Structure formats: C-alpha cells, structure tokens
Structure 1
Amino acid sequence: MHTDTDALAPLAWIAVDWGSSNLRAWALDQRDQVIAETSSDKGMLSLKPDEYETELKRLVSPWLSDSDQIDVMVCGMAGARQGWLEAAYLPVPTALDKLSQGAVMPRLADNQLRVHLLPGLSQTRSAAHPFDVMRGEETQLAGLVAETSDFSGLACLPGTHAKWATLEAGTVMQFTTYLTGELYQLLANQSVLKHSVGNDDLNDPACRKAFITAVSEIYAAPETFSSRLFELRAQDLLDGRLPSGDARAAVLAARLSGLAIGLELTGACRMPAADGPVTLIGNQALCQRYHVALNSIGLQTRHLDGDIAVLAGLRLAHRALTA
C-alpha cells in the first residue's frame, strides 16, 4: 500500500529491500529522509527475471516525474542467481561501506530508473570457518556501520536462518548461519512434537521460566539436544505439574524454542568477538527472545530495528555510489 504522495516533488532516489516473499520500497529526498513507502507480495519466489522491472515500475510509478532518471538501490534476493540479475557474492573480509562496488545494473526497457542490485557476502571453507553465504543481511549490517563507522563486535540477525557476524572496524571478518527458525518450525509442525506444542508467550511467567531453563540446560550440555527433544513429548504425557490445555502446549513450545536457540548459542557465543554487548538486528519480538536467551547465559545485548538498519545500509551504499 502506498503512503500519501502529495509531497513527492523532492524525490531524489528509491531504496528497495527485495526478499523471497515480498518487497518494500521507500522514496527518499535529497536529505535521505523517507517521504513515502510501499510494499508488495511479489518476492523473488513469485517472479521470473523479466518480470522484476514491471513490478518495480508498478510500485513506484506514482513517485516518478517524466524527466528525471532516478537511482534505485536494491538489496536482497533480486540479486540472487535465480532473481533479476545475479550480483555475485563478495568474499569476506568485506568492508561494509564498499558494498556498492559489487553492485550490478540490470538492463531496463524504460530509462526512468537506474537500478543497482547490491551483492551478498560469501565465506569459503577454512580450518576455522565453514562455507556460508548471506544476501540481504549484509545491508542490515551496513546499517550498523552507518551508525558507527568503526564498529567492532558480534552481531546477530535472528530469523529463519539466523546470521552471526564478527565485525572489526566496520569489516565483516567471518559469519555463521544457523537454521534455528526453520528447525523449530520443522520440529513443531512435522515431528512427533506437533502433538505437544502450541504457541508460547514469553510475557507469561511459566513460558518464560521454561524457555530460560531450556536455554541454560542445552547451553551446558549441547550433546543432549536430541534426547531433550523427545523428553518434551514424554513430559507432555507424564508431567502432572504442567498446566492443562493451551497453557500446557505453550509451556512446552517455550521449552522447545529455548532448546533450539540455546543450541545455537553454544556455537555462536563461542565465536571470537570484541568486548561489548551482542548487537541484535531485526524485529522487536524475535530480538527480545534472543535478548532473554543471551541474558540467561550472562551476555548483554543492544537492539537495532531491522527496517531502520536496512534503510541505513541502503543509504550508505547510495552515498558511496554517488560520491
């Protein structure tokens, strides 16, 4: 849905975050301030390469004049191999203020737009680190660097595939992906545990306690992960101390979430990082869950909103491209 476009005369450029399932676009003025925004459910999975330009023009045409050619900075899956045009991964170490150097420009039928697709990051296997890739999250990390150009420390981007990155002076040195969100969904919806778990709420004291306890237990003994998963089913059948009905399913879901995230932390929080809190980048609810988990093992956090981060990263790339 478009926002009010009455004040679009000062449009200077357009920022786009193009994901697998949807995309968001923002109109920005000469001061890099958002003056309008819109979104669509036409993510990469819904489009063929020759359909991207049409969808983009459909979304942003109310913002365009007949004369000016507008730069469009795009991050995310539009630059994937199966997207609009592949923007090859940049290998780490990568300075996040240099992302625009790897941008590619698709050929367009209409000259009103000048589109730049930003690259992702890649990591080849070494003795210390595995093969890995990210696409989209690097722009959120660039938003962190836009806020603090010499940032050093450990950043976490929770999600279906959570990313943990070690930064030194604004450069991504290495990163690791954990399939925690996807693993949780598979276990909750397609395993025997689907008969026991429901929807949790960490604002509920019983759920919060179950979550924290599970994080602590698995962090101390990650080798017990598989057995503790089945223990959830047995606990549902045998534990008379649990509440009944939906409340019971919520507590067990919180425990499952704690086990999954706690297992992630056993690897991620042993990564080398500068002193200081873990920076969580993403939506408030999921980052709050990670905040609780990290606090339970003695680590502090700070939070950067995901939308704010991606916009800041796109601004940084645009400034570098037009400097």
Structure 2
Amino acid sequence: MRTDSDALPQTLAWIAVDWGSSNLRAWGLDKQHQVIANASSDKGMLSLTPDEYEAELLRLVGDWLPANSQIAVMVCGMAGARQGWLEAAYLPVPISLDQLSHGAVMPRLVGGQLRVHLLPGLSQTHSAAQHFDVMRGEETQLAGLAAEAPDFSGRVCLPGTHSKWASIESGAVTQFTTYLTGELYQLLATQSVLKHSIGSDALSEPACRDAFIASVSEISAAPETFSSRLFGLRAQDLLDSRLPMGKTRASVLSARLSGLAIGLELAGACQSLSTDETVTLIGNPALCHRYHLALNALGFQTHHVEGDTAVLAGLRLAHQALTNNAERAL
C-alpha cells in the first residue's frame, strides 16, 4: 500500500525501513515523526544482490523525495546482514537499546537523493557452553519498547519463524534466546509423516482452541515426550474415532501440533519465570494471541505491543540518536 500526495516531497523529513528476508516495508515521516506515507515490496534480502538495494528502495519511495535535498533513511533488518546490502556487524549483549545507532553503517550509493544508515543486530556468545545466538531486526522492536518506557525491565517474547525471548533490565538487553518454533512447525507439517494428517487450524474454533491449550499444557509438563507425542498425532488420526472427520479433523490435529511446538518453547523459556511476572509480546496480533493463550494456560499474564508500532518507535529512537550526534559534532 502507498499513500501519495502532491505535498509529500515538501513535508517528508526522513524514511524508516524494515528490510526482511522476504519483504521490504518503508514509511515516510514528517518533522514530528508522524507517518505520512507507506509502501511495501516483496523484494527482501533473499531476492536481491548488494548492488540492487538502492534501485529497489528508490523504486519504492522515489516519488516521495524532494528534488533538491537529501533524505535520511534508517534501515533495520536483513539489509544489514552479511549477505545483504552491507554488513552492520552484530553488537554484543549486554547493551542499552538506545545505543543501536552506534553500530550503524552507511552503504555507498550511486545517487545523491538518499543518506542510508543500516542498523546492526545483536549477538550473544557463551563459548564455554557452546551457546551462540544472534538477532537482526528484533532488536529494533525491543528498542521501540525501550523508547516508550526507557526504564523497562522484564521478559519479552517476539513470536515468529524464529521466536526470540529477551531479558531487559532498565532499557538494556542482558541476554536472549532464539527458538526455532515456527520453522519447526512448518517442517513437521509439510515435510514429515504428519503432513498426511495436518490441515490449517483456526483457534477461533472451540475444538481447535481446546486442542491447542491442552497440548501446550501436556508438553510443558513433560517436554521429554515431545518426539513421541509428535508421532502420536499421526496415530491419533488413524485410530481416534472421537475426532471429527474431514477438514475439522485436520484442523484439530494442526492445533495440537502448534500447541506441542509452542509448549516445548515455553517449557524452556518460562523455566525461570514466576507466575507474577508479565510477559510482553511483540508482533502481529494473530500470532501474539496464540502465545497469549499458551502463556495463560501455564499461569502467566501477557501484554501485547503491535510489531509495526514497535519497529517504528525503534527506528525513530535510532534516527534521533544519529541526528543528535551529528548536531553535537557541528
């Protein structure tokens, strides 16, 4: 979607960009940091070579740009990966979330209409335990949370293909862990023996919601049974006469698979949490609602922050930090 206006080039102050593996989203902002335009593309990192990024960005936002001035562009996500536009090296944790701009890099551009900064990701290394972890893109959503509440402390979950759990103390990331939950679910549902039994689940259906919640509770209580319970889904499809037939049957089994995958994640991520702690969920409403149901089933309360709101707030924070540094350098 795009919002166009004849007055846009006169009111545009800077551009915020979230450049992922599969998609690109851009927002034009005015001097008050309010969104006045937005656009999206399916040209993510996986479909671009480094010398194609500038042209794709200009194709998307070119008609926003004023004729005789340079516009700052703040970019988070996979454009700053090693295989992206230009690598913005990972910053190690612990780190204050208002310092992400310190690791920003500027790609060399052919034209003079844009001044682009690529934000870094975060890394964590516990070499003695052979535990290594990285995030790229999610740190900016966490920075958005810190921008709204600089002294925030607590546990944050960012559900997704690779779910992230981060510990925040007074606006700084102290540690984080990635769970391959979304990708694991997709692989099991489409490339394992379970593909013969799994459909698409809708948690708005009571039978699917009940199956999801029950599976979360079951696997959280006994995570060591995960592999056997997976095969049990196939056996249940073959043997359980109580299950409804047709698409509903496949949907219920899909909900059970989702519950097992997310429940296994929570068994690890919530191990050190007390039930009086609130987990902050950042991401799209549908997926965060699924995690809300799962966490509630285990006795935890949640608070939701919409993903786009968080990433825009994080990009604003980084842009303001770079602007302030530039002004102090004058």
Percent identity over paired residues: 76
| CA drift at 1:111 | 1.5
* 1:206-264 residue CA offsets vs partner (Å, 9 max, x unmatched): 11111111000000000000000011111111111110000111111100100000000
Match in the other structure for 2:225: 224
Alpha-carbon contact 1:96-1:171 (below 8 Å) kept: yes
CA distance, structure 1, for counterparts of residue 275 and residue 317 of structure 2: 24
Match in the other structure for 2:6: 6
Q: Which amino acid aligns with 1:61?
A: G
CA distance, structure 2, for counterparts of residue 7 and residue 209 of structure 1: 52
Name the CA shift for 1:272/1:206 in 2 (closer, same or farther; >3 Å): closer
Name the CA shift for 1:288/1:274 in 2 (closer, same or farther; >3 Å): closer
Q: Which amino acid aligns with 2:243?
A: L
Q: Which amino acid aligns with 1:137?
A: E
CA distance, structure 2, for counterparts of residue 230 and residue 297 of structure 1: 24
Alpha-carbon contact 2:151-2:169 (below 8 Å) kept: yes
Name the CA shift for 1:293/1:128 in 2 (closer, same or farther; >3 Å): farther
| CA drift at 1:7 | 3.5
* 1:131-169 residue CA offsets vs partner (Å, 9 max, x unmatched): 000000000011111110111000000000000000000
Match in the other structure for 2:45: 44
Q: Which amino acid aligns with 1:7?
A: A
Match in the other structure for 2:175: 174
* 1:86-138 residue CA offsets vs partner (Å, 9 max, x unmatched): 00000000111110010000111111111000000000125678200000000
Match runs of 1:96-245 below 5 Å: 96-125=97-126, 130-245=131-246
- Poorly superposed stretches of 4+, deviation over 6 Å: none
Name the CA shift for 1:310/1:15 in 2 (closer, same or farther; >3 Å): same
Alpha-carbon contact 1:7-1:35 (below 8 Å) kept: no
CA distance, structure 2, for counterparts of residue 276 and residue 66 of structure 1: 52
| CA drift at 1:66 | 1.6
CA distance, structure 2, for counterparts of residue 81 and residue 128 of structure 1: 25
Match in the other structure for 2:292: 291
| CA drift at 1:68 | 1.2
Name the CA shift for 1:198/1:93 in 2 (closer, same or farther; >3 Å): same
CA distance, structure 2, for counterparts of residue 6 and residue 203 of structure 1: 43
Alpha-carbon contact 2:199-2:247 (below 8 Å) kept: yes
| CA drift at 1:2 | 2.1
Secondary structure in 2 aligned to 1:30? Answer: coil
Match runs of 1:281-320 below 5 Å: 281-320=282-321
| CA drift at 1:275 | 5.8
CA distance, structure 2, for counterparts of residue 15 and residue 7 of structure 1: 19
* 1:277-307 residue CA offsets vs partner (Å, 9 max, x unmatched): 1000000000000000000000000000001
CA distance, structure 2, for counterparts of residue 5 and residue 25 of structure 1: 16
CA distance, structure 2, for counterparts of residue 82 and residue 302 of structure 1: 35
Match runs of 1:18-29 below 5 Å: 18-29=19-30
Say how many residue pairs are matched.
323
Match in the other structure for 2:62: 61
CA distance, structure 2, for counterparts of residue 274 and residue 309 of structure 1: 25
Structure 2 gap segments, 5+ residues each: 325-330
Q: Which amino acid aligns with 1:40?
A: S
Name the CA shift for 1:150/1:273 in 2 (closer, same or farther; >3 Å): farther
CA distance, structure 2, for counterparts of residue 65 and residue 214 of structure 1: 55
Q: Which amino acid aligns with 1:150?
A: D
| CA drift at 1:276 | 3.1
Q: Which amino acid aligns with 1:50?
A: D
TM-score, normalised by the number of residues in structure 1: 0.97
Structure 1 gap segments, 5+ residues each: none
Secondary structure in 2 aligned to 1:124? Answer: strand
Two-structure CA RMSD over aligned residues (Å):
1.4
Q: Which amino acid aligns with 1:199?
A: S
CA distance, structure 2, for counterparts of residue 128 and residue 156 of structure 1: 23
Match in the other structure for 1:70: 71
Name the CA shift for 1:244/1:160 in 2 (closer, same or farther; >3 Å): same
Alpha-carbon contact 2:161-2:180 (below 8 Å) kept: yes
